[in-house]
């Protein structure tokens, strides 16, 4: 597999990537609304209010824009100049650093109370996953909270659909089950405290056919969190141990 560090460096990437999260009626908009609720729950469940936060692989500053107003100091790191140019506009109060913290331990040294990383670990190659978790573990405070998302679970309806599709066309997509994600994170000195599933239903279209219905169903399923291992997307919440 190619190095995921290079994946978002083209100047067209921010445009291709970002817009769907801010466009009502798309599945990504719906998932982003649920992710904000999950972030809020993780933030509020802490015994003390986080002061320092780090968003690893912050891209265009989506998650950063949620965290930045809630903390005293918020840092976003990424290796793509193009993605970070959008993040700088979106999050004027955050410190945005173009650097690879997996290769430079002096940058954004922490300690951070609240660390996020969304839409990174699924697609990063194995070696980079490990390097990133080592870099995060070095920087997280001993009572810190790690919030990481994965966005294609092979046991979800969407995961099964993609597995069949990729067998037919012969190009497999990366997938991660909740079990695999837990093991990965626990192998780096973390204890997983919760897994929150969302994106349970199957969407083939770029826009939702019945947005009101899908929103109500997905919100209820995400809130109940009865079978997170069946959700296409999930968030792992962990603390250092």
Ligand X SMILES: C[S@@+](CC[C@H](N)C(=O)[O-])C[C@H]1O[C@@H](n2cnc3c(N)ncnc32)[C@H](O)[C@@H]1O
Instruction: Name the residues that contact ligand X, by CB under 6 A.
Output: 4-5, 7-8, 57-59, 62-63, 77-80, 83, 100, 102, 118-120
Q: In the bound complex, what is the minimum distance in angstroms from residue 7's beta carbon to ligand X?
A: 6
CA-based nearest residue to 166, from 152, 179, 177, 178: 152
φ, ψ at 167 (rounded to 5°): -65, -40
Q: In the bound complex, what is the minimum distance in angstroms from residue 132's beta carbon to ligand X?
A: 6
Nearer to ligand X, 40 or 191 (CB): 40
Nearer to ligand X, 16 or 191 (CB): 16
Q: Which residue is nearest to ligand X (CB)?
A: 59
Q: In the bound complex, what is the minimum distance in angstroms from residue 19's beta carbon to ligand X?
A: 12
Measured torsion, CA atoms of residues 51, 54, 59, 60, in degrees rounded to the nearest 10: 10
Nearer to ligand X, 147 or 221 (CB): 147
Nearer to ligand X, 52 or 57 (CB): 57
Nearer to ligand X, 39 or 222 (CB): 39
CA 77 – CA 81 distance, rounded (Å): 11
Q: In the bound complex, what is the minimum distance in angstroms from residue 157's beta carbon to ligand X?
A: 22
Helix spans in 80-199 (H): 81-90, 126-139, 157-169, 178-186
Q: In the bound complex, what is the minimum distance in angstroms from residue 223's beta carbon to ligand X?
A: 22
Sheet containing 73-78: give its strands across: 95-98, 73-78, 52-56, 112-117, 140-150, 233-240, 190-198
* Structure tokens that stand for 171 in this block: 């190009």
């Amino acid at each position: 597999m190619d190095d995921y560090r290079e994946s978002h460096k083209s100047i067209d990437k921010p445009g291709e990537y970002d817009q769907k999260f801010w466009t009502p009626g798309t599945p990504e908009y719906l998932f982003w609304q649920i992710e904000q609720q999950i972030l809020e729950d993780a933030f509020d469940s802490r015994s003390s209010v986080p002061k320092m936060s780090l968003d690893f692989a912050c891209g265009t500053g989506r998650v950063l824009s949620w965290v930045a107003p809630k903390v005293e100091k918020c840092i976003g790191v990424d290796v793509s100049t193009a993605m970070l140019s959008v993040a700088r506009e979106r999050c004027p109060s955050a410190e945005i650093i173009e650097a690879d913290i997996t290769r430079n331990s002096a940058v954004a040294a922490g300690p951070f109370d609240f660390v996020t990383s969304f839409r990174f670990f699924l697609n990063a190659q194995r070696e980079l996953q490990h390097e990133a978790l080592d870099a995060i573990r070095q920087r997280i405070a001993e009572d810190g909270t790690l919030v990481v998302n994965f966005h294609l679970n092979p046991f979800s309806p969407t995961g099964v659909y993609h597995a069949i599709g990729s067998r037919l066309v012969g190009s497999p997509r990366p997938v991660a089950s909740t079990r695999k994600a837990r093991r990965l994170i626990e192998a780096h000195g973390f204890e997983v405290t919760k897994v929150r599933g969302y994106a349970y239903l199957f969407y083939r279209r770029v826009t939702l056919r019945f947005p009101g219905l899908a929103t109500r169903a997905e919100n209820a399923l995400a809130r109940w969190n009865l079978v997170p291992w069946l959700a296409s997307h999930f968030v792992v919440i962990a603390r250092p141990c």
